[in-house]
Amino acid sequence: MLELTASALAQKIRDREISAREAAETANHRVEEVEYRVNAFLTPTPYVALERAGRIDERLQNEGIQPWEGVPIAIKDVLSTRGVRTTCGSKILEDFTPIYDASALVNFGEDLVMVGKANMDEFAMGSSTENSAYGPTRNPWDPDRVPGGSSGGSAAAVAAGEGWWALGTDTGGSVRQPAALCGIVGLKPTYGRVSRYGLIAFGSSLDCIGPMTRDVRDAALLLQAIAGHDPLDSTTANAEVPDYLADLEGGVSGLRVGVVKELMDERIDAGVREVVERVVGELEAAGAEVGEASLPHAYYALEAYYIIAPAEISSNLARFDGVRYGLREPADGVHEMYRETREKGFGDEAKRRIMLGTYALSSGYYDAYYAQAQKVRTRMIGDFREALSSYDVLISPTSPSVAFEIGAKTDDPLAMYLQDICAVPASLAGIPAISVPGGLSEGLPVGVQLMSDHFTEPLLLRAARAAEEVADFEFSPRP
């Protein structure tokens, strides 16, 4: 059963060849078997999974189920889950239990077969899942290496077979980069395609909830389940949700594919470039029209992102003050209580970004930093508009390197931030982007990133499926 994709397992559940409870039992057993080596979960929920799977089986007999129901899933611990602890990987929310589910989970109803809440960098701030207050997640390909971040727990859970798919969140690459490092598929939808209601905010103008899956078909099916307008989130698009599976096998014949030259330079490891170039060559052989695309402001995207995102962090994390929910440290006076609570509740990276953001928004520096960063963001959007007028899909590496060793970059925040150079441009522009495994370098997975215009996920998924078909990679649960 562990070798099946989520789509194949869902079909077998609907055909009653496998019960949802059997699938949940298999996932729970796998968690027990490998979790001590991976640490993918902050809160495993085996009994929740079994109870809900039992209800799925009952409904299947009486009324039928949705195509995505019954398949065990891991949920990043930044998404609110009613009655189940939600920590954001932070001590400040160690005992927080939400009273409602995130809107992205609504289409699963009361019967979401959740095997656990997945580990993550604290408040989604990081590229390695080493910033979790509850210990790092380890890459199932090599336990001495990081799984990427911030959705590293979700990526590792899928790669290790602890669930058939997962939900992560992507603010500057946090779905795509860990997917690349763990050898799975990670999709960041268009900003506004999936509701953010119930997602504990990091960067409100950037945050996206996205599927992390074994293959592109699974990503399309999971996106089908979570996409749509939500009156509880004013930033969701009031647009019809297409059938993401309809044109999935359409191939790339006649498709215009642009290789982004700024994301294929010397900053990218040679082995990673080689894998991407091989996939591009195979797509051209399959009928794609390949050329060179340019995003001139991509060189400034990382700097702009690390001003805009911390500014939004500074605002969003102000709510964690010890008054309404979460950790509260006793102290003499309210200001001292604020100080003690935030000092003990937040980790080093959260404090670093809060301070960066507060500085960028402060009097005298707003125009010098934040306003300038927003201008770069506008230029970045223009770059994509220009490039996508000539090409249907843009292609690049997802990450500049394969998974690095745990601890290798923790003392150098700038080196860690540079892991986002390929992912951040699409985040600033709000366009959809997907990472698919393209092959191996140094015996570790390399992700190939594809990007397309706003709300063109059907086209993007079709191209990604074609890239997956020509890639020198085959998924197998590890370890």
Among all residues, which ones are annotated catalytic? 76, 150, 174
Coil, strand or helix at 40: coil
Asked if 244 and 252 count as a contact pair (C-beta separation under 8 A), the reply is no
**Three-state SS letters, 60-120:** HHHCCCCCCCCCCEEEECCECECCECCCCCCHHHCCCCCCCCCHHHHHHCCCCCEEEEECC
Among the listed residues 433, 349, 132, the one whose alpha carbon sits nearest the alpha carbon of residue 357:
349
Coil, strand or helix at 257: strand
Output b/e per residue, 47-76; b: 16+ Cβ within 10 A: ebbbebbbbbbebbeeeebbebbbbbbbbb
Listed in sequence order, the residues at least 6 apart from 318 whose beta carbon sits closer than 8 Å to its beta carbon are: none
Q: Could you please report the per-residue DSSP string of 179-230?
A: HHHHTSEEEEPPTTSB--TTBPPS-TTT-EEEEEESSHHHHHHHHHHHBS--
Rounded Cα gap, residues 184 and 211, in angstroms: 10
Residue 461 phi, psi (nearest 5):
-65, -40
Listed in sequence order, the residues at least 6 apart from 34 whose beta carbon sits closer than 8 Å to its beta carbon are: 140, 160, 161, 162, 479
Six-digit token string for 457 = 């996920």
Rounded Cα gap, residues 72 and 70, in angstroms: 6
Side-chain half-sphere exposure of 291, counting CA atoms within 13 A: 13
Six-digit token string for 141 = 């390909």
* CA-based radius of gyration for the chain: 21
- Name the burial class of residue 249, with classes exposed (0-12), middle (13-18) and buried (19+) by CB atoms within 10 angstroms of its CB: exposed
Axis-axis angle for helices 46-62, 20-38 (nearest 10): 160
